[in-house]
Amino acid sequence: MNYKVTIGLETHVQLKTNTKVWCSCANVYGHPPNTDICLICLGYPGSLPVLNKEAVRLTVMTGLMLGCNINTYSKFDRKSYFYPDMPKNYQISQYDKPFCEGGGVEIDVDGDRKRVSLTRIHLEEDVGKNIHHESASLIDFNRAGTPLMEIVTEPDMESADEVFAYLLALKQILTYGAVSDCNLEQGNIRCDVNCSVRPADQKELGTKTEIKNMNTFKGVYRALKHEIQRQIDVVEKGGVIHQEARRWDDLAGVTTAMRPKEYAHDYRYLPDPDLMSVVLSDEQVSKWREALPELPAARRSRLVAEYNIPEYDAKVLAADKAIADYYEEAARLSDHPKVVSNWIMTEVLRALSEHDRGIQQIKISPQYLVDLVKLVDDKTINMPSAKEVFNQMFETGENPSTIVEHKGLVQVSDTDAIDALIVQVLEEHPQSVGDYRNGKKNAAQFLVGQVMRLSKGKANPQIAMEAIQKKLNS
Amino acid sequence: MSKAYSSHTEKIDVEYVAHLARIKLNEEERERFQAQLEEILGYVDQLKTLNVEGVDPMAHPFPIQNVFREDKTCPSLDHEVAMKNAPQKRNGHFMVPKIVE
Ligand SMILES: [Zn+2]
């Protein structure tokens, strides 16, 4: 039987502010435990939270980037539950008046475009971090009170691939807007995934399960692939899906039911009397709207239009704002923006990933990359030499001309010099010469390789190839 | 104590409310709170009879909005001071009975 899958996401994003949302403790990752805490984020009786203005701006900016309606009136509510990582025994969140409602995220799965609708975006506080030991649990409250934005989608996605594309697109936009560092290793983005299946001819949705607290995109993808199949298997066997929270076990590659909480979901929201409501003026919102950064989709179109590069290149380059910035700096200096794009998409990205570095740490200046492209273009060096030069530039950040000079890599395009090498190669490899004459044309490749070897990589391979073919065909 | 307000029509589940608040009640307290809570709900019922047409619901009694703080860090509590009231601690952490999810 065919099944339809319905998926909705709640994505929690830590905002990039200097301080926490209700107090002036630093919002940083990696400090020693319980050193960024105060009476407010520890929930001491009598302490009063005061809203961080920057957290409001970043939440509203996100709403504007995602095409949401911005509510002029918003307020904060208490969500009550008991858990040791929540010192107040309630979490301050937004219940019925969030900052943003509606909006959407454009996704593209292998050329199929669609828009994932958003329900709302609200601002709340993150909780502390638990470390579970054999006999006890330890709590670090440094994270408690970190401004946390929750982005809720409609049940709009129909496959793990769409969810993956949604998360990537969302992360790109949030990074472009400098709203969050979006560092997954540091838990900047975490999501809960709601998923149900139903026979294709059935109208009403199946019972959904919720996979809690996912912190990698790959994990979300794998968990969904597994959970969708698990639900289909249950239905096929005539079983019943229970509405429940499930946990993804990354090592075992399975989801398992979490122990159902007694009286779950009785959060008893009530307006927080400690916090005043927020009224945003139209002027304020338009001011923020005017300050919106260029978003990934606009960047892609502009890269195609301005530098005449293929859509594919634009997509790869614009995926990371910093890479796109680097590319544009170089492309503006070059007569060959497409060749610059090739270098970045292949050598630069490869070298960065091999050295586990970001483009921010690259030592090669855009000008030097352009100079390297030019050295190849005017045939001063050949491609293999250029790659050698590139690797050294990547290590040291040196000027490519200096490296070419030091290593003596200037390409030999002098036909007499190359001819002399060819004579030697043909003498040494009669077998390949015979192969070529008997129709094995790719024997010429081997012979060119030998010429390159003799020239220590400096011969112009095109000239060598032409000369060899000319000799053997005569 | 005389009853100031009529009793609430629905019976309130005191046991459930106590569970939500994580407090244990004995038989005598259950009965006492049952009556008191019903009285409170009765008062709310009485409020519900008021005509509030055209009155916007409000989240706060004070007409104050937009109380913000600039995004500037201030020193946090000294670690030792912050941990002082912890009944149990280990490696700079607050220690609690093992949490089972
Ligand atoms: Zn604090």
- Any domain includes B4: no
Instruction: Provide the shortest C-alpha distance from residue A53 to chain B (in Å).
Output: 5
Angle separating helix axes A296-307 and A321-333, nearest 10 degrees: 20
Backbone angles phi, psi at A299, to 5 degrees: -60, -45
- Any domain includes B30: yes
For residue A462, what pLDDT is reported?
84
For residue A265, what pLDDT is reported?
67
Flag if A277 and B79 touch (Cβ within 8 Å): no
Task: Report the CATH architecture of A415-473.
Answer: Orthogonal Bundle (1.10)
Domain count, chain B: 1
- Which single residue is written with the structure tokens 């012979």? A447
* Per-residue pLDDT at B4 exceeds 70: no
- Any domain includes B85: no
**Torsion-angle region of residue A123: left (phi > 0), alpha (psi -120 to 50) or beta?**
beta
Using DSSP, state whether A90 is helix, strand or coil: strand
- Any domain includes B78: no
Query: What b/e sequence results for A250-261 when a residue is b if at least 16 CB atoms lie within 10 Å of its CB, and e otherwise?
Result: eeeeebeeeeee
Please tell me if residue B68 touches chain A, with a CB cutoff of 8 Å.
yes
In chain A, which residues have their Cβ closer than 8 Å to the Cβ of B100? 259
Angstrom distance (rounded) from CA A208 to CA A258: 14
Choosing among A139, A142, A212, A247, which should be mutated to test the B contact, i.e. which has the most B CBs within 10 A? Answer: A139
In chain A, which residues have their Cβ closer than 8 Å to the Cβ of B77? 37-39, 42
- Any domain includes B88: no
In chain A, which residues have their Cβ closer than 8 Å to the Cβ of B22? 82
Domain carrying residue B34: 14-48
Smallest Cα–Cα separation from A53: which of B72, B21, B49?
A: B72
Distance A264 CA to ligand 1 centre (A): 29
Per-residue confidence at B6, pLDDT binned at 50, 70, 90?
Answer: low
Going by their DSSP bridges, the two strands A100-101 and A69-70 should be labelled as antiparallel
Instruction: Provide the shortest C-alpha distance from residue B2 to chain A (in Å).
Output: 30
- Any domain includes B96: no
For residue A163, what pLDDT is reported?
98
Residue A172 DSSP label: H
Per-residue confidence at B5, pLDDT binned at 50, 70, 90?
Answer: low
Nearest to B93 among A50, A138, A258 (CB): A138
A85 CB-near residues (< 8 Å, 6+ apart):
A127, A128, A129, A130, A139, A141, A144
For residue B1, what pLDDT is reported?
39
Instruction: Return the number of other C-beta atoms located less than 10 Å from residue A234's C-beta.
Output: 16
For residue B2, what pLDDT is reported?
41
Choosing among A23, A137, A141, which should be mutated to test the B contact, i.e. which has the most B CBs within 10 A? Answer: A137
For residue A262, what pLDDT is reported?
47
Domain boundaries, given as residue ranges, for chain A: 3-287, 296-407, 415-473
Flag if B97 and A137 touch (Cβ within 8 Å): yes
Average pLDDT over residues B63-92: 95
- Any domain includes B75: no
Q: Is the dihedral of CA B24, B30, B36, B37 positive or negative?
A: positive
- Any domain includes B41: yes
Distances (CA, A) of A360 to A180, A366, A367: 17, 12, 15
Mean pLDDT, chain A cut into blocks of 10 residues (474 residues total): 95 98 97 97 95 98 98 96 90 97 95 96 97 92 98 97 97 96 94 96 94 95 97 94 92 88 72 95 96 94 96 94 95 95 95 91 95 90 90 94 84 79 88 88 88 83 86 82
Choosing among A61, A276, A284, which should be mutated to test the B contact, i.e. which has the most B CBs within 10 A? Answer: A276
> Does residue A380 contact residue A420 with C-beta atoms inside 8 Å?
no
Flag if A137 and B62 touch (Cβ within 8 Å): no
Supply the ipTM of this predicted assembly.
Answer: 0.86
